[in-house]
């Protein structure tokens, strides 16, 4: 309950320490005492997560259409979040067929065109879909958007068709972008030596603030602080235990070699950034096109790109399905679980978010850009129905979906690139 006598806290309140400004999560105390329900609804967030090399269609697309569809092997990890899940099939990326006809050309355009639906270097779309969202819903946050990757060499986010945005692979750098405030390298080093953590530098302000909060806000702050502490602990452990080999340059501190640890640290950072309203738009590249990374925790030891050319052999298709399912469970499933468990206003972050997960390639055996694997998760502040499989006519441009998603997060746009309609999700 929000009492009229309760002290109001600004949504932009920061806890400051030496070279640090730590944002707060959305608290009841930040809501005006006489505010109506409308003022309590947070702004929706948007995340776009890209995985290369398509998917095995028959093990991705549900057989039933509409509500209460049966989850396929590749999407099974999302079943606990059924009411938030929308599978969209029949979409294509026709622009990716234009240009260099080589296999490499098809792969590079799969990622580059996924959020633009425009061939690299051509118009008419000035920015990728995520950057259009950042222009409209990200201008009141510290970072209009956050571009992350688990492998270098590529970007899925473009300010213009010829200007890809760099995607950060180092979670330590991301952490300090979110929570550092004007620190020089000397200040950062001194802070680590003297206090060990960012939280230590704002402990006095945290204690002072805690005394003024009602019980519900103290619980929410405790969870938020614990999440920040856990992410920083992992980053410090990675840096402190990274092996050094004299014959090689030092490995960049903060970049885990383990895929799951890397992915989940990045996704935890996105969760924290959304919780503190430091950004509302995020992109994450899980692997680069043509990546031959091996994911031993999946139970499959074949290199990713090689396996995607399964030659229609059943054993290879089985393994690729396992890999598709592993990527969904270890990244998207983990992320939406974190969002569901994180309070936000009158619901959870998952209630107020929209996550797009998919690829710009369908069947990588033949390098096609039809029957794209696409799944959406999140409530988008009441604008997404969930629990549905939407089947579009084969060849429907994915730009129709991008227009729809922009509308769901509050971006007024009637057309995007080669769109010719919208998608009923």
User: Do residues 263 and 350 both lie within one domain?
Assistant: yes
User: Do residues 202 and 272 both lie within one domain?
Assistant: no
Query: Which residues, other chains included, contact 178 with Cβ-Cβ below 8 Å and sequence gap of 6+?
Result: 23, 142, 143, 269, 272, 273, 276, 278
pLDDT digits (tens, 9 = 90+) for 41-68: 678 999 999 999 999 999 999 999 999 9
pLDDT score at 125: 53
Q: Which domain does 193 fall in, by range?
A: 174-240
Residue 14 lies in a domain: no
Residue 5 lies in a domain: no
CATH of the domain at 111: 3.40.720
User: Do residues 328 and 384 both lie within one domain?
Assistant: yes
The most confident of 164-168, 243-247, 389-393, by mean pLDDT: 389-393
Distance from C-alpha of 40 to C-alpha of 212, rounded to nearest angstrom: 21
User: Do residues 84 and 139 both lie within one domain?
Assistant: yes
User: Do residues 333 and 358 both lie within one domain?
Assistant: yes
User: Do residues 157 and 279 both lie within one domain?
Assistant: yes
pLDDT score at 4: 39
Structure-token match 């991008």, residue found? 402
pLDDT digits (tens, 9 = 90+) for 87-143: 999 999 999 998 888 999 899 999 999 999 988 766 555 689 999 999 999 988 889
pLDDT category at 172 given cuts 50, 70, 90 is: confident
Residue 133 lies in a domain: yes
User: Do residues 98 and 153 both lie within one domain?
Assistant: yes
Overall domain count for the chain: 2
For a pLDDT cut of 90, what percent of the chain falls above it? 61
């Amino acid at each position: 309950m929000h009492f009229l006598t309760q002290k109001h806290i600004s949504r932009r309140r920061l806890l400051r320490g030496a070279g640090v400004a730590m944002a707060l999560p959305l608290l009841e105390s930040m809501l005006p005492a006489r505010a109506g329900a409308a003022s309590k609804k947070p702004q929706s967030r948007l995340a776009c997560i890209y995985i290369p090399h398509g998917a095995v269609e028959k093990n991705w697309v549900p057989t039933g259409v509409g509500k209460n569809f049966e989850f396929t092997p590749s999407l099974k990890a999302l079943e606990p979040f059924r009411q938030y899940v929308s599978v969209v099939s029949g979409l294509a990326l026709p622009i990716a067929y234009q240009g260099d006809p080589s296999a490499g050309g098809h792969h590079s355009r799969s990622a580059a065109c996924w959020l633009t639906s425009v061939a690299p270097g051509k118009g008419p779309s000035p920015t990728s879909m995520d950057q259009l969202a950042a222009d409209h819903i990200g201008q009141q946050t510290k970072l209009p958007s956050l571009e992350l990757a688990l492998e270098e060499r590529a970007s899925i986010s473009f300010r213009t068709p010829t200007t890809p945005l760099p995607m950060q692979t180092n979670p330590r750098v991301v952490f300090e972008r979110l929570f550092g405030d004007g620190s020089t390298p000397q200040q950062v080093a001194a802070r680590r030596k003297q206090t060990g953590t960012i939280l230590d530098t704002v402990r006095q302000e945290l204690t002072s603030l805690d005394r003024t909060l009602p019980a519900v806000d103290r619980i929410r702050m405790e969870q938020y602080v614990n999440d920040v502490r856990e992410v920083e602990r992992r980053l410090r452990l990675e840096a402190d235990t990274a092996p050094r080999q004299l014959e090689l340059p030092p490995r960049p501190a903060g970049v885990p070699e383990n895929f799951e640890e890397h992915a989940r640290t990045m996704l935890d950072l996105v969760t924290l950034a959304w919780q503190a309203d430091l950004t509302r738009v995020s992109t994450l590249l899980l692997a680069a096109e043509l990546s031959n990374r091996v994911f031993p925790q999946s139970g499959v030891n074949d290199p990713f790109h090689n396996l995607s050319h399964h030659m229609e052999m059943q054993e290879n298709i089985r393994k690729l399905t396992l890999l598709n399912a592993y990527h969904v469970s270890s990244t998207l499933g983990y992320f939406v679980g974190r969002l569901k468990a994180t309070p936000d206003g009158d619901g959870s972050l998952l209630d107020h978010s929209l996550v797009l997960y998919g690829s710009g390639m369908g069947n990588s055996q033949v390098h096609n850009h039809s029957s794209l694997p696409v799944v959406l998760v999140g409530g988008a502040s009441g604008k997404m129905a969930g629990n549905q499989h939407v089947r579009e006519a084969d060849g429907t441009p994915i730009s129709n979906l991008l227009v729809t998603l922009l509308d769901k997060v509050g971006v007024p746009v009637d057309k995007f690139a080669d769109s010719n309609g919208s998608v009923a999700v």
